Structure 1
Amino acid sequence: MKIWKLSTSLESEQIAAANKEDDETLFRNLLQQGEYLHSKTNLPVETYEKGELNNLLTYKGFATPPIIDGYAVQSLEKLISEFVEFVPLTHPEYKCYAVNIVNVINECVNYSESIPDDFGGFDKLSFIEDKVKRQPIFRIKYTEHSLGDFPIISPEIYVSDAFREVVFENGLTGFTFYEVWSSQEAEASVEELNPFVRESLDEDVEAHLQAYYGPIIRRVEAESAELTEAGFYEMAPTESVPFYTVATHGYSTLRLPAPPGLDSAYVELVMHADQDPFEDEKYSWIPQVMHQVGSFAVNNMNWIGQWMVFPNQELDRYVDTYERTLTGEKVKLPLQVQPYSPESGFCGVMVVPPLPQCQEAFMMPYLENGKETHGEWPVYFHTLLPLYEEEMEYYFQHGQEALLEKMMENGIEHLFNLHRPNTFKEKRKGFFGRFNK
């Protein structure tokens, strides 16, 4: 268990209130008091200093209060809504929200292991574990410091591993984390709790898949007994999930590398189809794609994370695209991709969250003798969404959020329709034959 201090990218755009009175309201209430504002909504703000339009912006260069966009609210609200208040702000060019952290934890500092600085804060900060457990975002109130014995509410914002994981899993930008405290010295190491080879019981996997996707109608065994091979489960369409659902079974036997602070090292893959891909040859490319993405990851010990895109390229270009994605370098365009099949036209996949009705399927706890063990990482079931070439190139040029904004016009389930049109395919419009993207 770790606690992180939340900060912002120095490159992010800075905003300020449009008038002094509201500026004081933002600063005094959001930065200092930690109380609900309720009526203080839609405060007018303006750009204070131009910068990158990240998901996390900054208030005059300060980390507090955090200023986030709608996508960040959508990504984080399930985790933090009971600990914060999202205060809508009105900017001339975009919608954003100030995050009012009302979760102020009193006397959670382990003073005997903390080192105060000369300014009322701490050079080294240690927490009382029971008080900060299950607290995804908080500020602290303490009385023992170098300035006296009166209470101080910290301006710093602290977040949990779970908060940090949501940020990474959803590809949120502008967030910076500094490790403040870890209780892991007294815990078993990650490697001890999460071995390189770890196999989930078939009955646990089957129960998980059937609980969220539908009844299993097919199991396809792996082609060999090698640890890098995987088989498939297929679930029938249901009223809730109107697709055939295919899930790999076997890739999560190996622990893949994962970025620091993330527990998404054991993975399986999921895809949806409106016809049975094991019966209809037009859809037979679906398990092939899942095998391509999964086998590349386990054979090369590569991480698979949310919003990553895997084009159908020749191996050397595929590796180059993957490495550039991880390092933040610009991906080479054109992508030089090939469609998975003549009928589909899809040339790649993006790792996306599950369908809304299947959200609980995303993580499967690892069970030993039917019980969870503290510290053991779950199995992540990553959903793959097929993309056209133009959609992938737009993603690599403009980012995941810009692509999703264009693709989501017809709803989430429409995206999983394998007959959906290319988002950027030109369509003839009007009598005069004009084209419109």
Structure 2
Amino acid sequence: MHSAQSHQMICTHIEQYIGVIDNVFKEVISDALSVDILIVNPTPERNYYTLITSGMSEFAMQVPDGAEEYQYTELMICLPPTWKLSDEAFKDERNYWPVRALKTTARFPHKYNTWLYMGHTLVNGNPVQPYSVDTGFQGMFVWVPDVEDKAGFFNLEMNSEKVVHFYTLIPLYGEELDYKVKHGEEELLNKLNKIGVTDVLNPTRKNSCKKIFGLF
């Protein structure tokens, strides 16, 4: 299937389950994998920006045996309605980092011959560092998007042999990344749910795994 066909099917899918695509950040310079970012503006029903990749699923990921159904993926991240999304604003990394993280994460499985699946985490850099000077987030948690029709949105059948799955990225603090490695995604989800973490990035949210005075 040609890229143009795939892109149109992804756009149609997004507009069916999320909303009208208001803007596209086209990839100007790319290698074999070209990843555009589709933007759905805030609405009264979904009062935040939704950014979704288009292009990551052009190539299959290297999945383990038995997971062939999950070879193709696109990613999304949700930003507050006050977030600055423009070429001028993106000159400041404090505005651009979620977009950079989205694009970097989309390339990761293809670059390193691996895969992404719900519950996976990725860290920013080696050594690990915050995405921006004004945030403590140091990695991403891959999870199922919180949309009205989760099952419908999660699966996009391109043809009889190719189904694209959509995941959302939730930024995590370093302590949360460590906690997930030690205790697993379900325990981390419990921690995140307790403090009300949603799909929408909250740059000032609490750290769900921060130790207080070393007591716990």
Structure 1-normalised TM-score? 0.44
Q: After superposition, give the CA deviation of every residue in 1:231-262 in whole Å (9 maximum; x if it has no partner).
A: 11111112332221111111111111222233
The offset of 1:435, in angstroms, is 7.6
Larger radius of gyration: 1
Provide the residue aligned with 1:394 in structure 2.
Answer: 179
Q: Which amino acid aligns with 1:296?
A: F
Provide the residue aligned with 2:20 in structure 1.
Answer: 215
- Once the two structures are superposed, the pairs formed by residues 203-352 of structure 1 within 5 Å of their partners are 203-224=8-29, 226-262=31-67, 263-274=69-80, 275-279=82-86, 280=89, 281=92, 282-314=94-126, 336-352=127-143
CA distance in 2, matches of 1:339, 1:402: 23
Determine if contact 1:266/1:377 at 8 Å carries over to the other structure: yes
Percent identity over the alignment?
26
Provide the residue aligned with 2:156 in structure 1.
Answer: 364
Q: After superposition, give the CA deviation of every residue in 1:370-423 in whole Å (9 maximum; x if it has no partner).
A: xxx43x221111211100001001111111111111110144537643321111
Where does the alignment leave 5 or more consecutive residues of structure 1 unmatched?
A: 1-196, 315-335, 367-372, 428-433
Q: After superposition, give the CA deviation of every residue in 1:277-303 in whole Å (9 maximum; x if it has no partner).
A: 523443310111112112222223321
CA distance in 1, matches of 2:30, 2:100: 18
The offset of 1:358, in angstroms, is 5.2
Closer/same/farther in 2, CA of residues 198 and 309 from structure 1, 3 Å limit: farther
As a proportion of its length, which structure holds more strand? 1
Q: Which amino acid aligns with 2:170?
A: L
CA distance in 2, matches of 1:264, 1:224: 28
Determine if contact 2:146/2:199 at 8 Å carries over to the other structure: no
Determine if contact 2:73/2:167 at 8 Å carries over to the other structure: yes
Q: Which amino acid aligns with 2:133?
A: P
CA distance in 2, matches of 1:283, 1:351: 21
Does 1:405 find its partner at 2:198?
no
1:382 to 163, 167, 173: 167
Q: Which amino acid aligns with 2:76?
A: V
Closer/same/farther in 2, CA of residues 229 and 201 from structure 1, 3 Å limit: closer
Q: Which amino acid aligns with 2:186?
A: E
- Once the two structures are superposed, the pairs formed by residues 136-151 of structure 1 within 5 Å of their partners are none
2:146 to 355, 372, 382: 355
Closer/same/farther in 2, CA of residues 198 and 398 from structure 1, 3 Å limit: farther
CA distance in 2, matches of 1:395, 1:223: 36
Determine if contact 1:273/1:418 at 8 Å carries over to the other structure: no
Q: Which amino acid aligns with 1:267?
A: T
CA distance in 2, matches of 1:214, 1:393: 35
Helix, strand or coil: the match of 1:383?
A: strand
Q: Which amino acid aligns with 1:283?
A: N
State the Cα RMSD in Å: 2.4
Q: After superposition, give the CA deviation of every residue in 1:1-47 in whole Å (9 maximum; x if it has no partner).
A: xxxxxxxxxxxxxxxxxxxxxxxxxxxxxxxxxxxxxxxxxxxxxxx
CA distance in 2, matches of 1:266, 1:273: 24
CA distance in 1, matches of 2:61, 2:179: 29
Closer/same/farther in 2, CA of residues 426 and 283 from structure 1, 3 Å limit: farther
CA distance in 2, matches of 1:419, 1:212: 29
The offset of 1:201, in angstroms, is 3.4
CA distance in 2, matches of 1:277, 1:390: 28
Structure 2-normalised TM-score? 0.84
Q: Which amino acid aligns with 2:204?
A: H
